[in-house]
Structure 1
Amino acid sequence: MTTLTTPSRGAAARDTTPARRPRRRGSPLPYLLLLPALLVIAVLLLWPLGQVVAMSFHQLGIRQLRGDREWPWVGLGNYAEILGDPFFHTVLRNTVLFAAANVVLTMILGTLVGLLLNRLGRRMSTFVGSCVMLAWATPALTGTIVWKWLFDDTSGLVTWLFNQLPDGLSQALFGRADWSGYGWFNSPLTFFSVLTLVVVWHSFPFVAVSVLAGLKSVPAELHEAARVDGAGPWRVFWSVTFPLLRPVFGILVVLSTIWDFKVFTQQYVLAGGTQDRSTFMLSIYSYSMAFSPPPKFGLGSAIAVILTVILLVVTGLYVRMVLRQEEES
């Protein structure tokens, strides 16, 4: 006769009850690891930003910055003076239109180049991508000097090319046959056209490489299925590629907007300083107000703060849009 042995109640409980992990208190190690980066950000970003904000509430000149005199408090007087100046509204309009045009052109050109790189073979894509990135890696000052030489009114390559056009064709298209001595930077229209060319040339490689990286993460089966269904290249991009890369495009639009709003080096070099007020944008307007004699550091700081607030609003709207999309999904 065989006897069946059953496990005891305590043994069964030990077998079925999951082991509880001891609770761990929050470790300070992550915060300690972040502390050096936070200190660097505070020293290099937050402290200068706080100084600019503080200066915008005072009337400052050379003597005040030297410490010879106290800082006269004007409160919101600098902001009221700037916002009430009609020239500020002209500068703001120039900045918004310039940034909008450059963001659109940069995104279109960068996306097209990214799609092209994705269609090329590995070796050719690496070669073309490396050549494209040379424009982005070139310092803004160096690249702008080269472009200014290209548009020189006497010995520039662009002036020489326009002079090679038949006189009749050049006269019919542009209203002039001789381009020697033509000042490309004297008219606001031609100045902003050249400036747009310089900024887009320097910005589109980053967009192209970012789009290429996003395309590499899109499954090829989705594109093949869309083509089997009879979708053309535009339909495939708009219905398959763009929805999947929407977060990438959103980040690129925000970054391009920030960069194009605060363009300074290219404009300063092409204009040769701050003499031509008809081509002012917010960055160079702030610089001119702060450092042109007589210097008005308080007004210049107020313009810089206004520019920062505009960029923060643009970034905040994008973050809100992303969070809303995540909640809906």
Structure 2
Amino acid sequence: MTFAIGLGIALLLTRMSRWVRVATQCGLLLAWAMPVVAALTVWQFLFDTEYGVVNWLLTELGGDFRGHSWLQEPLSFFAVATMVVVWMSVPFVAFTLYAGLTQVPDDVLEAAEIDGASARQRFAHVVLPTIRPVLLVVLLLQVIWDLRVFTQIYALQKAGGITRDTNLLGTYIYTLGIKGGDFGTAAAAAMFMLALTVVLTAPYVRMMLKTEED
């Protein structure tokens, strides 16, 4: 989701006027620069059981969400966590891919358009191959960072989530080692997390090396 939304915003940035693009970039930069704890405070207020804006808005639209807790059920908990993580990660992806898109030669795009290529064909056969190294790097970093998500989950758990049903690898290792004192199992889980990271990132590293060789 982070990659798809970031790519979409990057494409929109290339079509915006100068001042609209600058304003959008400033907004993205503020979202990216906001400390995690401060951002989570805002999100907790939005989804607060009694005073949350989300519950109030859904109730005004005719739903029965008065006093509804979004953090008690694993599905809704991870939905909120996903929104927080994606919201905080999209700016980096958007900025990086936009920088890559600015390197696509305009004359090549114009030549493809003259030859009759549609916008979709130009994107698939000109833009994507040109920015492929940037795409691979961003995908690699996103996989690593998503596996390392901790603060967002931990803060939402403290705000009312059920820990045993909403753990990710990072919070699970923390719960085992720091809270439970089971350092052996925590170390084994950490090694599994490291191995999983290597397995998931190995194809991207291989593609990046192959791209450089070509």
Q: How does the TM-score come out when normalised to structure 2?
A: 0.93
Superposition deviation, residue 241 in structure 1: 0.6
What secondary structure is seen at the aligned counterpart in 2 of 1:189?
A: helix
1-structure distance, mates of 2:209, 2:138: 17
**Deviations 1:29-77 (Å, cap 9, x if unpaired)?**
xxxxxxxxxxxxxxxxxxxxxxxxxxxxxxxxxxxxxxxxxxxxxxxxx
The answer on 1:125 being equivalent to 2:10 is: no
Q: Partner letter of residue 211 of structure 1? A: L
What secondary structure is seen at the aligned counterpart in 1 of 2:201?
A: helix
In structure 2, the partner of 1:149 is: 45
In structure 2, the partner of 1:223 is: 109
Superposition deviation, residue 232 in structure 1: 2.6
In structure 1, the partner of 2:201 is: 315
In structure 1, the partner of 2:189 is: 303
Q: Partner letter of residue 307 of structure 1? A: M
The answer on 1:240 being equivalent to 2:130 is: no
Q: Partner letter of residue 106 of structure 2? A: A
2-structure distance, mates of 1:219, 1:324: 23
Q: Partner letter of residue 310 of structure 1? A: L
**Deviations 1:105-162 (Å, cap 9, x if unpaired)?**
1111101111111112333222211111111111122111211110011100101110
In structure 2, the partner of 1:110 is: 6
The answer on 1:265 being equivalent to 2:151 is: yes
Superposition deviation, residue 261 in structure 1: 1.0
The answer on 1:279 being equivalent to 2:166 is: yes
5+ long unaligned stretches in structure 2: none
> When the two structures are aligned, how many residues end up with a matched partner?
213
In structure 1, the partner of 2:57 is: 161
Counterparts of 1:72-221 in structure 2 under 5 Å? 105-166=1-62, 177-221=63-107
5+ long unaligned stretches in structure 1: 1-104, 167-176
What secondary structure is seen at the aligned counterpart in 2 of 1:180?
A: coil
Q: Identity of paired residues, percent?
A: 40
Superposition deviation, residue 206 in structure 1: 0.5
2-structure distance, mates of 1:311, 1:212: 27
**Deviations 1:171-192 (Å, cap 9, x if unpaired)?**
xxxxxx3211111011111111
Relative to structure 1, the CA distance from residue 275 to residue 288 in structure 2 (aligned partners, 3 Å threshold; closer, same or farther) is farther
Relative to structure 1, the CA distance from residue 153 to residue 275 in structure 2 (aligned partners, 3 Å threshold; closer, same or farther) is closer
Superposition deviation, residue 214 in structure 1: 0.5
1-structure distance, mates of 2:41, 2:120: 38
Superposition deviation, residue 231 in structure 1: 2.6
4+ residue runs over 6 A deviation: none
**Deviations 1:174-220 (Å, cap 9, x if unpaired)?**
xxx32111110111111111111111100011011101101111111
Quick one: which of 157, 178, 181 aligns to 1:291? 178
2-structure distance, mates of 1:269, 1:258: 20
What secondary structure is seen at the aligned counterpart in 2 of 1:127?
A: helix
In structure 1, the partner of 2:137 is: 251
Superposition deviation, residue 275 in structure 1: 4.5
Superposition deviation, residue 253 in structure 1: 0.6
Q: Partner letter of residue 121 of structure 1? A: S
Counterparts of 1:58-69 in structure 2 under 5 Å? none
Out of 138-147 and 305-314, give the one that drifted further.
305-314
User: Which of the two has greater helix per residue?
Assistant: 2
The answer on 1:324 being equivalent to 2:193 is: no
Q: Partner letter of residue 34 of structure 2? A: T
2-structure distance, mates of 1:129, 1:257: 24
2-structure distance, mates of 1:184, 1:233: 41
2-structure distance, mates of 1:229, 1:158: 50
